[in-house]
Amino acid sequence: SITIYRQDYTVPPFLVDHIDLTFDLGPSVTQVKATTRLRHNPESESHDIVLYGEALELVKIVMNGKTLAKSDYATDNGELRIANVPDDVTLVVDTLIHPDQNTSLMGLYLSNGNFFTQCEAEGFRKITWYPDRPDVMATYTVTIRADKEKYPVLLSNGNLVETGDLPNNRHYAVWDDPFRKPSYLFALVAGNLVCREETFKLADGRDVLLQVWVEKNNLDKTAHAMESLKHSIRWDESRFGLELDLDRFMIVAVSDFNMGAMENKGLNIFNTRYILANPRVATDTDYANIESVVGHEYFHNWTGDRVTCRDWFQLSLKEGLTVFRDQEFSADLTGSDSGRAVKRIEDVRTLRQLQFPEDAGPMAHPVRPDAYQEINNFYTVTVYEKGAEVVRMYQTLFGRDGFRKGMDLYFSRHDGNAVTCNDFLAAMADANGRDLSQFERWYSQAGTPRVRLESHYDEKERTLTVSLSQFCPPTPGQTEKQPFLIPFAIGLLDSKGNDMPLRLKGGKDSGTSCILELSDASQTFTFVDVAEKPVISALRNFSAPVILEYEQSDDELLHLLSHDSDHFNRWEAGQRLAARRLVSLTKAVQDGQPLTLDTAFADAFRTVLSDTSLDAALRELALTLPSEMMVAERLDEIDPHAIHQARQFMRRTLAEKLEKEWRDAWDRNRTEGTYRPVPSDAGKRALKNLALSYLLALDNPVYCQMAIEQYNRADNMTDRLAALTSLVHSGCMNRHPEAKALLDDFYREFENEALVIDKWFSLQATSPHAGIETITTLMEHPAFTLKNPNRARSLIFGFCHNNMAQFHAADGSGYEFWSKNLIELDRINPQVAARLARCMDQWKRYIPSLRKPAEQALRHVSEQPLSRDTREIIEKTLS
């Protein structure tokens, strides 16, 4: 495969002023006519027009009125080049495409008989030959013609300017988008859909039309998405002064979708999973995800659409920034400090669980990658979540106001343009009068930096010296790293647990929390007037995406767990206490030693569980043990079975020792009245359901019964699904026929709700009791299909990604299952397959007995004909 390098960027030889697109829609054949006005780019030395195309049937190309002969252009590897073209040209390109054969879900395709498009990153080239690159921005006029009965609704970006009837029961609609946009933001939807709509008043008094389009049977699941959209509009107005620039904003839900959602200008297209909700079918987590994804796509209207990326290496310019914005949006909407902390903890958990391993594995890449073979493979947690952490650090360094100044400058400089990560950095630097050249390393260097903390308290001088040093391990292609600029938030607790006033030597008072700026390989900071030996609260609120190496004693961690005013670090202290023990328990399992858990630890958990002054949501987070993946991250060699046993042991022991408290938590956190997906109620449900899952670890029929009753009485999906999941995952299900009947009951009840059936597959696929036979049986279920990404993910990814104990079966059957399905999926949908390929990222760290079958499975896959997407991942994983 060809590797594309960031350094090779050249400006487009021709720019597009306007494109006229006409679609004659048919499922097996669609005709596309593209009329493009091109103009030579004075910044380019080339006079060649370069168009990109894939899986297109070219009918003809007409340039300035003259039909081109085959000899007038050259085609090679998806490129069509017309050499030595005059400065101003009009190109008319006629192509045929075949939506019903398009299983990749890129370009124009069918889902449940309706037409949809997905063009990011390079899907537009599956619609017509075009300079399909983000730095070519044009206005669009789109005419859609289709059968009136089958496709009553015809949508595209911008404003609807004309509709009418055509012969043969066909009709048409014309849409005009006045905002210049790159082709990846183009969208078309045609089909039998209905919408919830509302007129909404913007801050400047303008009325806009908001619509959420779905299939008819889903109209009763659109209220939350609409509410979320209105909240998003208000929030962007008040926090960033950014207004909706259109008269009409549409969201469409589609069941077959590779990603979460897509920010096409004025016509966002969403995976149904991030739109549809009512209490019967959606969990609290679904509600929260919908709010954040609706926000995310809406916020892209400014950070992504109005200011877009110059090239795909700059992806994090829009994604890191927009993830940061959606994180802040969700945090602000909770309306409380503890709500903000809950959101922060969840986001950091995702980063550590998914991004840290990526940064330490074969696919490690900088937030702004230097090279790729297939750009779809770089829609990663590094670009998104680490990218968001990088943006957050500007805010940590400059404060909310300084950050806002930088944003304002960014828009005033770049509105309407395609720019780079460095342009964003420059806006932040200039608005705050600061040289940020060192900060740029966050974009260019891969890997998770490690920060080591050592401290010394001088009783006589009443000083505390804090030494920080940083080191970033090598990553593929980057052996040496330069020091990063790391904002390191710190606080000091006295023996009573109170925050101590901080004063740096030679500096002024810095309140009770301050940011140390670590910029050298190592640096020492001295605090003066420190009245007693403090307990250090380090890296408060996770002020930088680093791994902190600081050995604190159990006593110190227990002190932080009970008293830290920084909610994040209270949670962190509990996680560190638990992780430390999980690592030793794992070693004990491996050495055949007896497993024990100390009373001090159990007591600390008891105290948190019983502390009703703490929000239920925070308690739930604190009492959730680090995942198996997190434990694996702390070990040089991964022994999945030992890790699983260690964690199960800890869960069971905490269940036994805290049985009474878990019971109380289950009893006292029932929510009153009708279901509301608000943070306070959701937190209670989370704690109650965590308690239930601990109690079920006790294998006591009383608790099985309790779960069965919760299932039967539940008036919402959160409680119902939690009860069912606990029954299945605890093994209760296998011992009690009454419980077993519930799985079938659940299926029958929700047979017509695709998203709930996904949950049904996934809860079984992730069960520690689900061996390869269970999974194989599920694969044969009539409701299973590889073609629908959500369904494929629920079962196959559920098993391969989220069922560590079973996927890593000693006989290699899990890996064989993986390779077989990967190969099959790759023929259908390369983008989704390449995600599945990532399950083996860590194979070189497995224990030797697993490394062999893992390598065999990888080699087997690499010997097959593969898509560019999957090939890139497999080769990097093996190298």
Give whichever of 120 and 826 is closer to ligand DPP, judged by the CB atom. 120
Interface residue with ligand DPP among 253, 262, 425, 642 (CB under 6 A) is 262
Q: Which stretch binds ligand DPP (CB under 6 A): 295-303, 431-439, 753-761, 840-848?
A: 295-303
Q: What end-to-end distance do the CA atoms of the chain give, in Å?
A: 15
Give me the least distance between CB of 297 and ligand DPP, in Å please. Answer: 6
User: Which amino acid would we find at residue 105?
Assistant: L
Residues 346-385, interacting with ligand DPP (CB under 6 A): none
Nearer to Zn ion, 129 or 324 (CB): 324
> E strands of 460-521, at which residues?
463-471, 486-493, 514-518
Q: Which is nearer to Zn ion, 296 or 684 (CB)?
A: 296
Question: Which option in ligand DPP, Zn ion, none does residue 742 bind, with CB closer than 5 to 8 A by kind?
Answer: none
**284-307 burial by CB neighbour count: b if 16+ within 10 A, else e?**
bebbbbbbbbbbbbbbbbbbbbbb
Confirm whether 738 is a catalytic residue: no
Phi and psi for 168 in degrees, rounded to 5? 60, 40
Alpha helices in 81-145 (DSSP H): none
Residues 576-605 that bind ligand DPP (CB under 6 A): none
**Interacting stretch for ligand DPP, rule CB under 6 A, among 11-19, 260-268, 529-537, 732-740?**
260-268
Write the DSSP symbol of residue 101: G
Q: Which of 297, 305, 719, 872 binds ligand DPP (CB under 6 A)?
A: 297
The single residue listed with the structure tokens 């010296």 is: 465
Q: Which is nearer to ligand DPP, 269 or 840 (CB)?
A: 269
Neighbours of 681 (CB within 10 A): 20
- For Zn ion, the closer of residues 387 and 789 by Cβ is 387
Stretch that binds Zn ion, among 311-319, 758-766, 857-865, 870-878 (CB under 5 A): 311-319
Q: Of 130 and 298, which has the nearer Cβ to ligand DPP?
A: 298
Span near ligand DPP by CB under 6 A; candidates 255-263, 353-361, 560-568, 822-830: 255-263
Q: How wide is the angle at C-alpha 107 spanned by C-alphas 189 and 227, nearest 5°?
A: 45
Q: Are 463 and 527 in contact (CB under 8 A)?
A: yes
Under the criterion CB under 6 A, does residue 132 sit at the interface with ligand DPP?
no
Integer Cα distance of 676 and 686 in angstroms? 13
Residue 50: strand, helix, or coil = strand
CB of 114 to ligand DPP, least distance (A): 20
Smallest separation (angstroms) from Zn ion to the CB of 297: 7
Distance of CA 47 to the CA centre of its chain: 40
Let me know how many helices (H) and strands (E) the chain has, helices first.
Answer: 30, 31
Q: Could you count the other beta carbons within 10 Å of the beta carbon of residue 714?
A: 18
Amino acid at 712: N
Q: Which two tokens stand for residue 685?
A: 């449900």
Answer for the pair 467, 521: CB distance below 8 angstroms, yes or no.
no
Q: How far is the CB of 263 from ligand DPP (least distance, A)?
A: 5
Q: Considering the rule CB under 6 A, would residue 263 count as an interface residue with ligand DPP?
A: yes
Q: 368 and 271 in contact (C-beta within 8 Å)?
A: no
Nearer to Zn ion, 107 or 387 (CB): 387
Question: Taking CB within 5 to 8 Å according to partner kind, which of ligand DPP, Zn ion, none is near residue 389?
Answer: none
Residue 195 tokens read as: 């919408």
Beta bridge partners, 188, equal 156
In the complex, least distance from residue 322 CB atom to Zn ion, rounded to whole angstroms: 5
Q: 120 is in the binding site of which of Zn ion, ligand DPP, none (Cβ under 5 to 8 A by kind)? A: ligand DPP
Which partner from the list ligand DPP, Zn ion, none does 286 bind, CB cut-off 5 to 8 Å by kind? none
Q: Whose Cβ is closer to ligand DPP: residue 127's or residue 622's?
A: 127
| Shortest Å distance, C-beta 351 to Zn ion | 16
Which of 94, 120, 122, 359 contacts ligand DPP by CB under 6 A? 120
Determine which residue in the list 296, 641, 720, 729 makes contact with ligand DPP, applying CB under 6 A. 296
Toward ligand DPP, which CB reaches closer, 15 or 262?
262
Task: Quote the least distance from Cβ 262 to ligand DPP, whole Å.
Answer: 5
Say if strands 308-309 and 418-419 run parallel, antiparallel, or are unpaired: parallel
**Residue 566's binding partner out of Zn ion, ligand DPP, none, with CB under 5 to 8 Å set by partner kind:** none
Q: Residue 50's beta-bridge partner residues? A: 81
Which does residue 262 bind out of Zn ion, ligand DPP, none, counting CB within 5 to 8 angstroms by kind?
ligand DPP
**CB within 8 Å of 701: residues ≥ 6 apart:** 736
Cβ proximity to ligand DPP, 122 vs 841, nearer residue: 122
Binding at 766: pick from Zn ion, ligand DPP, none (beta carbon under 5-8 Å per type): none
Shortest Å distance, C-beta 304 to Zn ion: 7
The catalytic residue among 291, 297, 620, 628 is 297
Within 10 A of 179 (CB to CB), how many other CB atoms are there?
18
Q: Shortest approach of Zn ion to residue 234 CB, angstroms?
A: 20
Nearer to ligand DPP, 96 or 375 (CB): 375
Largest distance between two CA atoms of the chain = 95
Nearer to Zn ion, 305 or 758 (CB): 305
- Class of residue 33 by CB neighbours under 10 A (exposed 0-12, middle 13-18, buried 19+): middle
Residue 274 carries which side chain, given as an amino acid letter? Y
Closest CA to 1 of 877, 866, 643: 866
Report strand pairing: 79-82 vs 74-76: antiparallel
**CB atoms closer than 10 angstroms to residue 396:** 17
Cis peptide before 121 (omega within 30 of 0): yes
Whose CB is nearest to ligand DPP? 120
Number of residues interacting with ligand DPP: please give it, by CB under 6 A.
Answer: 9
Partner that binds at residue 758, options ligand DPP, Zn ion, none, CB closer than 5 to 8 Å by kind: none
What token pair was written down for 252? 């469409």
DSSP 638: B
Ramachandran area for residue 453 (φ above 0: left; ψ -120 to 50: alpha; else beta)? beta
Contacts of 687 (CB under 8 A, 6+ apart): 616, 617, 619, 620, 623, 665, 669
> Using the rule CB under 6 A, which residue among 319, 499, 628, 633 binds ligand DPP?
319
Single-letter amino acid code for the residue at 535: V
Q: Is 21 in the site for ligand DPP (CB under 6 A)?
A: no
Token look-up 């044969």 returns: 780
Q: How far apart are CA 423 and CA 428, in angstroms?
A: 9
State which of residues 80, 185, 261, 708 lies at the interface with ligand DPP (CB under 6 A). 261
For residues 229 and 770, which CB has a smaller minimum distance to ligand DPP in the complex?
Answer: 229
Q: What distance in Å separates the CA atoms of residue 98 and residue 459, rounded to the nearest whole number?
A: 78
Question: Residue type at 775?
Answer: I
Residues 471, 570: contact at Cβ < 8 Å? no
Among 233, 259, 538, 650, binds ligand DPP (CB under 6 A): 259
Only one of the segments 296-304, 407-415, 446-454, 642-650 lies at the binding site for ligand DPP (rule: CB under 6 A); that segment is 296-304
Q: How many residues bind Zn ion (CB under 5 A)?
A: 2
Q: Name the minimum Å distance from CB 122 to ligand DPP.
A: 12
What distance in Å separates the CA atoms of residue 417 and residue 445, rounded to the nearest whole number?
A: 26
Binding to Zn ion, residues 312-341 (CB under 5 A): 319, 322
Q: Which residues bind ligand DPP (CB under 6 A)?
A: 120, 259, 261-263, 296-297, 300, 319
Q: What amino acid positions are annotated as catalytic residues?
A: 297
The residues binding Zn ion (CB under 5 A) are: 319, 322
